[in-house]
Amino acid sequence: MSHCLKVIKAWAVVFFAVMLFSQHGFAQGRFTISGTITSGRTGEKLMAVSIRVAGTSIATASNEYGFYALSLPAGKHHIEFSAVGSKTFSLDINLQRNTVQDISMQSEEKQLQDVVVMARRGGRNISSPQMGVERLQIAEIKNIPVLFGERDVLKTIQLLPGIKPAAEGGSGFYVRGGAADQNLILLDEAPVYNASHLMGFFSTFNSDAIKDVTVYKGGMPAQYGGRLSSVLDIKMNEGNNQDYAVSGGIGLISSKVNVEGPVQQGKSSFLLSGRRTYADMFLKLSPDSSINRNKLYFYDLNAKINYKLSKRDHLYLSGYFGRDVLGVQNKFGIDWGNGTGTLRWNHIFSSKLFANTSLIFSNYNYNIKVRNEADDFTIFSQIRDWNIKQDYQWYLSNRSSFRFGFNSIYHAIRPGEVRASDASSIADFYLQKRYSWENAAFFSHSWKASEKLNFTYGVRLTSFSVLGAGDYYSVDEDGNVTDTTHYQRGAFVKTYINPEPRVAASYKLNDRSSIKASYVRNVQNLHLISNSTTSNPSDKWVASSNIIKPEISDQVSVGYYRDFADNKYEFTLEAYYKDMQNQIDYRNGADIYTNDAIESQLLFGKGRAYGAEWLLKKREGRFTGWLSYTLSKTERLIDGINNNQWYNARQDRTHDIAVVGSYQLNKKWTVSANWVFSTGNAVTYPAGKYILDGRPVFYYTERNGYRLPSYHRLDLGATRQLKQKGRFSSELSFSLYNAYGRENPFTVNFREKEDNPQKTEAVQYALFKYVPSIAYSFKF
Amino acid sequence: MKKVSNYIVPLLFLFFLASCEKVVDVKVKGAEKKYVVEGVLTNETGKCEVKISQTLNLDDDNTFNGVSGAQVTITDDKGVVSTLLESAPGIYRNNLAGKPGTTYTMEVHISGNKFTAQSTMPNPVAIDSLYISSMDMMGDKTLMPNIVFRDPAEKGNAYRFIQYLNGKKSTDIFVQNDVLSNGRLNTTTLFQHDNDLKKGDSVGVDMLCIDNNVYKYWFSLYQGATGEEDSASPANPETNIKGGALGYFSAHTVSRKAVTVN
């Protein structure tokens, strides 16, 4: 218990230090204008609205809850508010006291067809020290052609530099050399542990329910932590508080419907969004009972309610529930899915101090049912989080703002539980439940040192405590358990404390260009143990333990940013170097499903990744799109793999190119295309073979010493607006995935030649060749 | 978990029909030759055999290239040494029958190399019955053999099943341990990967009781070195041989049954 007290005490000290530091003086003769910015059409809060004071270099942006604050000298000011898809709002004000001014922005988007303009007026914020970040709005990705016509944010971000798909057509992704589990995926602040449906071909994020996606590849702000390589912060729509609206879509694979409207006009609203795939409906058409009784579908439900309690208080309750169901008659079934819930309370203490408190719940589990000749059993596994987050944003002056708070998460993992009937070959079996408590306090200061020089610096201090009850092990270097220690319920097995410094600076070269540099340390305490090339629902999350140490990454990056041609074009060049400690891999022949001492099945090592990323983007006009190129290297060094030499990680792809474009031909038609190219995956091929037990067996000498052939693909899309009747508008989208039918190898396997078993042949498998799709969507 | 993929993979392929397969030309770097030792001692007389060969290049024929001139012995835990004599190139034999509960040490000397391995012969477990069942998989009725046996009360048993179809040995690898099924009446279904059982076929099954290191060898071979799995990281199986050879040494018991499909 004394250990527990110590941890709490450490936090208390940090917290009060932060509070104390926040107390020092206010400037004289200045007043603050603050308020909340909403969309006039829907009443939803608008984040990242750019706010500029005319005739000065004073500028800021609204936060993720639409709140803004500006400190200005007393007197008359002309302030301009501008945002993507909205008309610029001008405000003339004579500031004589602290003033609250809520802003309602008029939408530029009249109908479905006019979503071409996506410029952030006045260009992006080249002076902010934040780097390695990309923000996408759903309107921006609408026209990008995708597999099966199913718009998907996780697939779209893979077209950005530094972000690569984990597998063909999949929603899994790698960021700057990190593994798929090193991405922190947040849906309304709740971590989503398995963001994929149907073995990864779809993501869990129904684009109709999503407002905004921000991905951080580097320089993560201090309020984020827990994963090594990226943060993907996804915000759900809030719901229209002005009027009821219904939208939906019918595609080959799925249908969806979205309902939103006011609960109390202008004050509160709700949103309900659902999606279901029906691949198995086609199976039902089969007269054969062994086919039509199979199940294969998934669904998603998103719901959100927000309520304005007072001028200073706003409550949001949001939830997500999704599930995949796959069944082979009644013989085999697997279902898996995430559930998340977030309750948030925004409170405006004063014109300078904004606070948010979040209570977050997150759950992922799967069930497997097997009933056949010999067996009748179920397997269950679950990871569940309870999470509280307190976040303060303090706008001290136009030169200085602070962000600080804390986060406490209780993780409960049930790694695997088998329940079997008496007649089964297997007996009930339970892997030990694992508990842990993760705490973090963060603090950061954004400081405008001069007109040209900006800093953001801070620290995130995290502790991770492994808790009992349970047995913990000592393991020798061959993976044998040498000792077992039992801990009581609630006992502290081990606590890891890690400070994570976060530093970034920007220097404005002129009005149109800047350079930036940053250093960030990230720590990860939950690790996904996966040996599969595709996302598997039964991939296993394990927490740091007495043996599994927190993964740590240090990343430095530098960048150059430039806007061209009246901010119609923007150019970004970033380079990074990342060092990763305590990386985890399987032992050869590992069995992770029936082993309580999972550590005995693992190997540990380190990684490094470096690269450069170019992005040229056109955000405005009839033609929009981007060109991205990444040159990178990712390597691993794991004790016991590849003769203890550095080797290319699977996600190491030297070159990676994406060309994305969309062109509005006329009011009715928009056409789009994207082309991607990347170096083939690093793979392991045999060096030879031998005859064992009468069959050829392959002989390997190195890990990932070969490359699959290069990957490239062209996708085409077209969207046709249909006739509008009153409020009702609709459109048809066509897409063709892999338009020139490139057979991109998914795997290359080796086998005996069919016509001559004396010889060995290599066989490549390609997944998708010409996948056309059509989808209909409507809105009223 | 392999049981799970037995179901998922066909279902996904049914769904994503577009999957296509093509033979490609792959050039691999060669490697230095390595010795391969496959040592087997059973509880039956005349089945003690150690095969010694060397690795082949990938474009060589799949032919066993036995290595002659090795000194091969198997010693039991009382120090009784049996010498195996070369009966064909690379094949060394002795009439020794192993006794359950005994730990055997295989020792191979060849061209200055010394390879040793230990294996303990488990107590025998007999097949109670073997029968054929049918299962509807994706519209096809698939016939599969099932082996029924009682796992002993004490933990730590492991099994390997070898299937013979009309006398021809199947290359499918079936291994199982008792972590989940200790002490129970087991029915193990041999899922068919390449074979299509038909009426009139004769199906034979050898059930080998193997020790845990040998189980690990076959399990890791199944996972990573057959060239077929979509494993992210193929690797050589975990051998119990010390001294740098590929292969394994297994002292195991055998129980057999055969059945005709009708």
Give the ipTM. 0.92
Q: Is the pLDDT of residue A357 over 90?
A: yes
For A417-465, the DSSP string reads EEEE-TTSSS--EEPPPEEEEEEEEEEEEEEE-SSSEEEEEEEEEEEEE
Q: Is B241 exposed, middle or buried (0-12, 13-18, 19+ CB in 10 A)?
A: buried
Token couple for A401: 């703002």
Neighbours of A476 (CB within 10 A): 10
Q: What is the pLDDT of residue B17?
A: 45
Tell me, yes or no, whether A141 lies in a domain. Answer: no
Tell me, yes or no, whether A752 lies in a domain. Answer: yes
| Chain A (242-281) residues lying within 8 Å, Cβ to Cβ, of chain B | 279
Contact A101, A91 (CB under 8 A): yes
One domain, residues A110 and A241: no
- Kindly list the residues from chain B whose CB atom is less than 8 angstroms away from the CB atom of residue A283: 14
Residue that finishes a domain, picked among A69, A84, A114: A114
Alpha-carbon gap, residue B84 to B95, rounded angstroms: 9
φ and ψ at residue A290, rounded to 5 degrees: -75, -15
Task: Give the pLDDT band of residue B129 (cuts 50, 70, 90).
Answer: very high
Tell me, yes or no, whether A742 lies in a domain. Answer: yes
A425 vs B187: CB contact, 8 Å cut-off?
A: yes
Alpha-carbon gap, residue A59 to A291, rounded angstroms: 62
**Alpha helix stretches (DSSP H) within A521-562:** none
CATH code: domain of residue A38: 2.60.40.1120
B85-91: Cβ within 8 A, 24+ apart? B90/B51, B90/B52, B90/B53, B90/B64, B90/B65, B90/B66, B91/B49, B91/B50, B91/B51, B91/B66
pLDDT in tens, A518-528: 999 999 999 98
Tell me, yes or no, whether A221 lies in a domain. Answer: no
Q: Is the pLDDT of residue A371 over 90?
A: no
Of A488 and A351, the structure prediction assigns the larger pLDDT to: A488
φ and ψ at residue A36, rounded to 5 degrees: -120, 135
Alpha-carbon gap, residue A251 to A652, rounded angstroms: 35
Residue that finishes a domain, picked among A114, A129, A159: A114
φ and ψ at residue A234, rounded to 5 degrees: -110, 125
Contact A102, A70 (CB under 8 A): no
Alpha-carbon gap, residue A508 to A448, rounded angstroms: 11
φ and ψ at residue A403, rounded to 5 degrees: -135, 130
Alpha-carbon gap, residue A601 to B238, rounded angstroms: 13
Neighbours of B139 (CB within 10 A): 14
Q: Is the pLDDT of residue A7 over 60?
A: no
| Region A682-704 average pLDDT | 91
Q: Is the pLDDT of residue A548 over 50?
A: yes
pLDDT in tens, B143-158: 889 999 999 999 999 9
Q: Is the pLDDT of residue A115 over 60?
A: no
Tell me, yes or no, whether A670 lies in a domain. Answer: yes
Count of domains in chain A?
2
CA-nearest residue to B138 within chain A is A291
Tell me, yes or no, whether A208 lies in a domain. Answer: no
Of B79 and A373, the structure prediction assigns the larger pLDDT to: B79
| Chain B (20-79) residues lying within 8 Å, Cβ to Cβ, of chain A | 20-26, 28-31, 33-34, 36, 38, 53-65
Cis peptide before A469, with omega less than 30 degrees from 0?
yes
Nearest CB among A290, A370, A686 relative to B227 is that of A686
Residue ranges making up the domain that contains A723: 234-779
Q: Is the pLDDT of residue A113 over 90?
A: no
Alpha-carbon gap, residue A98 to A337, rounded angstroms: 48
Q: Is the pLDDT of residue A323 over 90?
A: yes
Q: Is the pLDDT of residue A636 over 90?
A: yes
| Region A95-102 average pLDDT | 89
Minimal C-alpha gap between A213 and chain B (Å): 29
pLDDT in tens, A205-250: 888 888 889 999 999 999 999 999 999 999 998 888 888 999 998 8
Contact A673, A661 (CB under 8 A): yes
A695 vs B236: CB contact, 8 Å cut-off?
A: no
Q: Is the pLDDT of residue A141 over 90?
A: no
- Kindly list the residues from chain A whose CB atom is less than 8 angstroms away from the CB atom of residue B233: 531, 585-586, 641, 650, 684, 703-704
Distances (CA, A) of A638 to A473, A641, B56, B128, B234: 21, 6, 28, 46, 15
pLDDT in tens, B225-244: 666 555 567 889 999 999 99
Q: Is A623 exposed, middle or buried (0-12, 13-18, 19+ CB in 10 A)?
A: exposed
| Region A673-683 average pLDDT | 93
Contact A38, A105 (CB under 8 A): yes
Q: What is the pLDDT of residue B103?
A: 96
Contact B238, B30 (CB under 8 A): no
Classify the phi-psi angles of B251: left when phi > 0, otherwise alpha if psi is within -120 to 50, otherwise beta: beta
One domain, residues A242 and A100: no
Q: Is the pLDDT of residue A775 over 50?
A: yes
φ and ψ at residue A609, rounded to 5 degrees: -145, 140
Alpha-carbon gap, residue A494 to A473, rounded angstroms: 12
φ and ψ at residue A122, rounded to 5 degrees: 80, 10
Q: What is the pLDDT of residue A677?
A: 96
Q: What is the pLDDT of residue B137?
A: 63
| Region B162-167 average pLDDT | 93
Q: Is the pLDDT of residue B11 over 80?
A: no
Token couple for A52: 């500029």
Alpha-carbon gap, residue A18 to A442, rounded angstroms: 9
Cα within 13 Å of Cα(A5), Cβ side: 2
| Average pLDDT, rounded, for chain A | 87
CA-nearest residue to B188 within chain A is A374
Query: Three-state SS for A678?
Result: strand
Minimal C-alpha gap between B29 and chain A (Å): 6
DSSP A350: S
Q: What is the pLDDT of residue B214?
A: 96
Query: Three-state SS for B142?
Result: strand
Alpha-carbon gap, residue A137 to A456, rounded angstroms: 25
Q: Does A424 touch chain B (CB under 8 A)?
A: yes
φ and ψ at residue A147, rounded to 5 degrees: -60, 130
Distances (CA, A) of A622 to A211, A273, A596, A618: 23, 31, 59, 10
Q: Does B85 touch chain A (CB under 8 A)?
A: no
Distances (CA, A) of A493 to A437, A462, A463, B100: 11, 17, 13, 42
CA-nearest residue to A640 within chain B is B235
Q: Is the pLDDT of residue A110 over 90?
A: no
Tell me, yes or no, whether A223 lies in a domain. Answer: no
Q: What is the pLDDT of residue A112?
A: 37
Q: Which residues, in sequence order, are bridge partners of residue A553? A: A522, A580
Task: Give the pLDDT band of residue B139 (cuts 50, 70, 90).
Answer: low
Q: Is the pLDDT of residue A547 over 90?
A: yes
Contact B53, B90 (CB under 8 A): yes
Alpha-carbon gap, residue A499 to A522, rounded angstroms: 9
Q: Is the pLDDT of residue B90 over 60?
A: yes
Q: Smallest Cα–Cα separation from A470: which of A428, A415, A524?
A: A415
Name the strand (E) or helix (H) holding A488. Answer: none
Q: Which of A590-594, B174-178, B207-211 has the highest mean pLDDT?
A: B207-211
pLDDT in tens, A379-415: 999 999 999 999 999 998 888 999 999 999 999 999 9
| Region A603-610 average pLDDT | 94
Identify the residue among A197, A379, A690 best suited for mutation to test binding to B, counting B beta carbons within 10 A and taking the highest.
A690
Q: Is the pLDDT of residue A771 over 90?
A: no
Q: Which of A554-568, B77-91, B195-209 has the highest mean pLDDT?
A: B77-91
Q: What is the pLDDT of residue A124?
A: 66
Contact A334, A367 (CB under 8 A): yes
CATH code: domain of residue A580: 2.40.170.20
Q: What is the pLDDT of residue B2?
A: 41
Contact A67, A395 (CB under 8 A): no
Q: Is the pLDDT of residue B164 over 80?
A: yes
Task: Give the pLDDT band of residue A172 (cuts 50, 70, 90).
Answer: confident
Minimal C-alpha gap between B229 and chain A (Å): 8
One domain, residues A93 and A238: no
Residue that finishes a domain, picked among A96, A114, A132: A114
| Region A154-180 average pLDDT | 88
Nearest CB among A288, A650, A762 relative to B139 is that of A288
| Region A638-650 average pLDDT | 90
CA-nearest residue to A753 within chain B is B23
- Give the pairing type, strands A196-197 and A202-203: antiparallel
Q: What is the pLDDT of residue A126?
A: 80
| Region A538-555 average pLDDT | 92
Q: Does B137 touch chain A (CB under 8 A)?
A: yes
Residues ≥6 apart with Cβ < 8 Å to B244: B34, B35, B113, B115
Alpha-carbon gap, residue B133 to B144, rounded angstroms: 5
A135 CA to centre of own chain = 12
Q: Does B15 touch chain A (CB under 8 A)?
A: yes
Q: Is the pLDDT of residue A283 over 80?
A: no
Q: Is the pLDDT of residue A580 over 90?
A: yes
Q: Smallest Cα–Cα separation from A303: which of A335, A334, A257?
A: A257
Q: Is the pLDDT of residue B224 over 90?
A: no
Contact A171, A535 (CB under 8 A): yes
One domain, residues A103 and A247: no
DSSP A155: H
Q: Is the pLDDT of residue A1 over 50?
A: no
Tell me, yes or no, whether A222 lies in a domain. Answer: no
CA-nearest residue to A763 within chain B is B23
